[in-house]
Amino acid sequence: MATQIKLRRDTNTNWNTNSTVVLAEGEIGVNLTSGQFKLGDGSSTWAQLTYFSEDRFDATGALVYPVSAVQRDTATVTCAGNASTVVYTASGQYQHTIKLLIQVEGNVGAAVDWDTQSCEMIIAKSWRGPTVAATVYAVVHTSVAPLATFTAEWNALTSRVEVLCATPSANTVYVRTFATEITTAD
C-alpha cells in the first residue's frame, strides 16, 4: 500500500488572509500560487517566516552560497606533454581557500584508448605573504600511472592563486576543474 504525505498548502491570498498561522517546528507550508515554501519553527507566524527558496536558492533553483563563496567550472584546458600549464586561476585576489575537483583525460604511452584521472585539491593561501599550501588527494585513474600532477602557486602579477598541471609523459592531456572558493574578507 502506498503512503501519501500531504503538506500544509494554500494560495497566496489565503496565506495572507491567515498570516497569523504558526507552522509547527519542521512543518512545511506551501504557497500554491508561487510554488515557494516556508519552514515552521513552532513560534513564528506565517507572516514572520521567510520563504525557504528566497534565502537558499536563486531563480533557476540553484543553491545560493554565502556572500564570500564562489562556485565555478572551467572550460577544458589542453596541457601539452612534458610541460607545465596553468589550468585554474582563482576568480579574485582574496579567494584564498579553494577546493577543486579535477578531471583529466588522455592516454599513457602509445595507447590508443583514452584514460581518465580524477582527484581533489585543497588550497590555502596565507594572508601574510605569497605562501600557498596545497594537497592533492583521492587520486584515481584508469591508466597504469597518473596522467598528470598538480601544484598551486601565487602569481604576484595577477594577485591570484594558480593551479598548474604537469604531465609525466610527452602525451597531451585535457583538464577540466570545478571549484568552490571562499574568503573571509566580507
For residues 27 and 101, membership in a common domain is answered with no
**C-alpha 107: how far from chain center:** 28
Q: Which residues pair with 153 in a beta bridge?
A: 162
21 falls within a domain: yes
Same domain for 105 and 52? no
Place of cell 521567510: 50
Q: Structurally, how many domains does the chain consist of? A: 2
Block means of pLDDT (10 residues each) for the chain, length 186 residues?
Answer: 82 90 87 84 87 61 66 89 92 88 87 88 90 94 91 94 91 92 69
Q: Is residue 150 part of a domain?
A: yes
- Give me the CATH number covering residue 79: 2.60.40.1680
pTM beyond 0.75: no
Range of the domain at 48: 8-56
| Residue carrying the nine cell digits 574568503 | 183
- pLDDT score for 186: 45
